[in-house]
């Protein structure tokens, strides 16, 4: 029985050599793929956030799908809440752009500190979240493309 057991395993030297070769290759492949995914995510998210901010500041919001969606929300929420929803969308988008910029700078080796104005904007964002409530946040979710990555980037810039 002892000899059958040995047929299923390699010698310790062969196992060590296999691990010494395979693990670094596997780690390099995972790191490379992860780095590419983060780069793609930052680029795509940056473009989408830039387009949203341009739409919000251009005066052409009403004619867009976002504007039509916000118009539908006016029927479900009181006027001041709709105004807070719009402020929340603008502020969230600005902070998301800033967060992606900070992440890109840090990825390039620059140490970026978050200024007091940005911290104040996060305080305003938290205030707006309380003002619009859970229902308002859920209603905004399709516009924010809120995901764990987005929440993480906002958290990172807030540090």
The H or E element containing residue 76 is none
User: 117 lies in which domain range?
Assistant: 39-158
The H or E element containing residue 90 is helix 79-107
- Answer whether residue 23 is part of any domain: no
- Answer whether residue 28 is part of any domain: no
Return contacts of 132-136, CB within 8 angstroms, 24+ apart: 132/81, 132/84, 132/85, 132/88, 136/77, 136/81, 136/84, 136/85, 136/88
- Answer whether residue 12 is part of any domain: no
* Cα Rg, the chain, nearest whole Å: 24
Q: Which residue has the tokens 């005066």?
A: 59
- Answer whether residue 74 is part of any domain: yes
Confidence of residue 128 (pLDDT cuts 50, 70, 90): very high
Q: pTM for this structure?
A: 0.62
pLDDT at 144 over 60: yes
- Answer whether residue 131 is part of any domain: yes
Environment class of 118 (CB within 10 Å of its CB; exposed 0-12, middle 13-18, buried 19+): middle
Handedness of CA 86, 133, 153, 29 (dihedral sign): negative
- Answer whether residue 147 is part of any domain: yes
- Answer whether residue 3 is part of any domain: no
Confidence of residue 43 (pLDDT cuts 50, 70, 90): very low
Question: How many domains does the structure of the chain reveal?
Answer: 1
- Answer whether residue 4 is part of any domain: no
What is the pLDDT averaged over residues 43-64? 72
């Amino acid at each position: 029985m002892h000899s059958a057991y040995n047929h299923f395993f390699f010698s310790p030297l062969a196992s060590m050599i296999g691990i010494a070769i395979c693990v670094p290759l596997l780690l390099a492949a995972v790191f490379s793929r992860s780095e590419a995914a983060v780069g793609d995510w930052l680029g795509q998210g940056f473009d989408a956030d830039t387009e949203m901010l341009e739409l919000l500041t251009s005066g052409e919001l009403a004619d867009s799908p976002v504007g039509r969606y916000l118009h539908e929300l006016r029927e479900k929420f009181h006027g001041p809440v709709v105004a807070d929803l719009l402020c929340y969308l603008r502020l969230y988008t600005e902070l998301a752009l800033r967060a992606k910029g900070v992440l890109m700078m840090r990825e390039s080796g620059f140490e970026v500190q978050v200024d007091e104005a940005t911290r104040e904007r996060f305080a305003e964002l938290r205030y707006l979240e309380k003002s619009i409530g859970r229902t308002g946040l859920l209603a905004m979710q399709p516009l924010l493309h809120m995901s764990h990555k987005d929440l993480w980037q906002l958290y990172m810039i807030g540090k």
